Structure 1
Amino acid sequence: MATLRRDLLIAVRHRGELANPLMFFLMVITMVPLGISPEAAVLSALAPGMIWVVALLATLLSLDSLFRSDFEDGALEQLLMSPQPLYFQVLAKVFVHWLITGVPLTLMAPVLGVMLSLPSAGYWPLILSLLIGTATLSLIGAIGAALTVALRKGGLLLSLIIMPLYVPVLIFGASGVRSAIEGFPYLGTMAVLGAFLALAIVLAPLAAAGALRISING
């Protein structure tokens, strides 16, 4: 809880960094009609996949800073030496990352869906899939952030490590929205996303904790 409060306080004090993923999300989606086609039929077909891809990239954009500031000021070493389980420390930091990145992206997605002429049947599935999916993305991304925290320019390597692991979440997230738009049941797809999230909650903090120990202790 102390880690959770501390990271939330740091996030509030650095409001500019919070806006970066949201601005990226907004700008890319705004440019889609300009670069592809302003026709509603074309945009509505692209909307589920496009929103999900850009949300994934916006989440990836903020992952490098997940452990970076703690590594630079020495707080990460103190966390490793703390008697508290590192699993819960990592889980708290990932939860804060989701609160300040995944939740705002999810809330902004319906507005951008209007810009892309997303059919009305796709709004609730979009919100639900992003709410579950962005949490999974943050958990998986923590593994890559932990592996590259000691590297001075680890952003590209982080993307190469994490992107293949993001593909199943992207596929099921976008296909669930598309199924709802086409009139097919989508709760099964959401259940698969929920299974991904449950598995990530159990395994990802353990993997990230091990990666942190490897990165710090060499």
Structure 2
Amino acid sequence: MTPGIAPTLAGAARALLVRDARLIWRRRGDALQPALFALLVVTLFALALGGEREALGRSAGAVLWLAVLLAGLLALDTLFRGDAEDGSLEQWMLAPVPLPWLVAVRTFMHWATTALPLLIATPVLAQMLHLPAAQLPAVMVSLALGTPLLSLLGAVVAALTVGMRRSGILVALLALPLYVPVLVFGAGSVAASAQGLDVTGAWLMLGAGLILALVLAPLAAAAAIRISLN
């Protein structure tokens, strides 16, 4: 990497993050929808199970994972949609910085505005579901590793469908098969922790998937954007 490229990459990332933050602030109601949806899912599960402490505690890890996954899926269609409609994606392709870099920055912002607030609120949601305190670290670690992976995989799907209108259902159908392994290892690590088993293997699988996605997902999403806009 030459000395002149790094400042350009940093400057482009900073400009995109500032722009996205301003847009999110203007649309605060829309930005809160994933968090409110996750809270609604948790509340409905608690009501459906009758508020029984033991039943809620046994299923709390899986419920939290489902709530976070569905909340991220709810906002997935808007990941690149607004930029495609106002012509920003074309500007990304003409920018003097690599398109995968801009995709990675946008994906990070998507994670920070949808999954990170839920990650911070997880201890409170866990209390609502009577999650045993000993299992909370397993939930937090699995979500910290799994939610960025979900955002990166979702970015590829959103890029594939960015040129289509009303692609909400299609995005869900394409994303869910990719999300299932993450859900299995994430919720499975919490279940293993509840049984006193070693959860290191599941965390390593999530970590390995996250590293691969960090490298490959922005490249794949950038290629999909180019195909969708041509």
Q: Quick check: TM above 0.5?
A: yes
How far apart in 2 are the matches of 1:10 and 1:125?
Answer: 34
> For the aligned residues, what is the CA RMSD?
1.1
How far apart in 1 are the matches of 2:44 and 2:70?
Answer: 15
Q: Work out whether 1:182 is the aligned partner of 2:202.
A: no
How far apart in 2 are the matches of 1:133 and 1:5?
Answer: 26
1:177 alignment partner AA: V
Q: Work out whether 1:83 is the aligned partner of 2:96.
A: yes
Once the two structures are TM-superposed, the CA of residue 5 in structure 1 deviates from its matched residue by 2.5
Percent identity at matched positions? 47
1:159 alignment partner AA: A
Match of 1:22 among 23, 35, 42: 35
Is the 1:102–1:131 contact (alpha carbons within 8 Å) kept by the matching residues of 2? Answer: no
Q: Work out whether 1:157 is the aligned partner of 2:170.
A: yes
1:216 alignment partner AA: L
Q: After the TM superposition, which segments of 4 or more aligned residues of structure 1 sit over 6 Å from their partners?
A: none
* More off after superposition, 176-185 vs 47-56: 176-185
1:167 alignment partner AA: V
Once the two structures are TM-superposed, the CA of residue 53 in structure 1 deviates from its matched residue by 1.1
- What does residue 136 of structure 2 align with? 123
Structure 2 portions without partners, runs of 5+: 1-12
Once the two structures are TM-superposed, the CA of residue 74 in structure 1 deviates from its matched residue by 0.6
2:53 alignment partner AA: A
* More off after superposition, 84-93 vs 5-14: 5-14
1:119 alignment partner AA: P
Match of 1:146 among 159, 175, 183: 159
TM-score, normalised with respect to structure 1: 0.96
Deviations 1:162-207 (A, max 9, x none): 1100011000100111222222222221121111110110111111
- What does residue 48 of structure 2 align with? 35
- What does residue 16 of structure 2 align with? 3
- What does residue 95 of structure 1 align with? 108
* More off after superposition, 46-55 vs 162-171: 46-55
Deviations 1:113-150 (A, max 9, x none): 11111111111111111111110000000011111112
Match of 2:121 among 86, 93, 108: 108
How far apart in 2 are the matches of 1:92 and 1:9?
Answer: 15
3-state SS of 2:50 partner? coil
* More off after superposition, 134-143 vs 118-127: 118-127
Is the 1:107–1:127 contact (alpha carbons within 8 Å) kept by the matching residues of 2? Answer: no
- What does residue 219 of structure 2 align with? 206
Q: Work out whether 1:47 is the aligned partner of 2:46.
A: no
- What does residue 10 of structure 2 align with? none
TM-score, normalised with respect to structure 2: 0.91
How far apart in 1 are the matches of 2:40 and 2:133?
Answer: 23
* More off after superposition, 140-149 vs 7-16: 7-16
* More off after superposition, 84-93 vs 6-15: 6-15
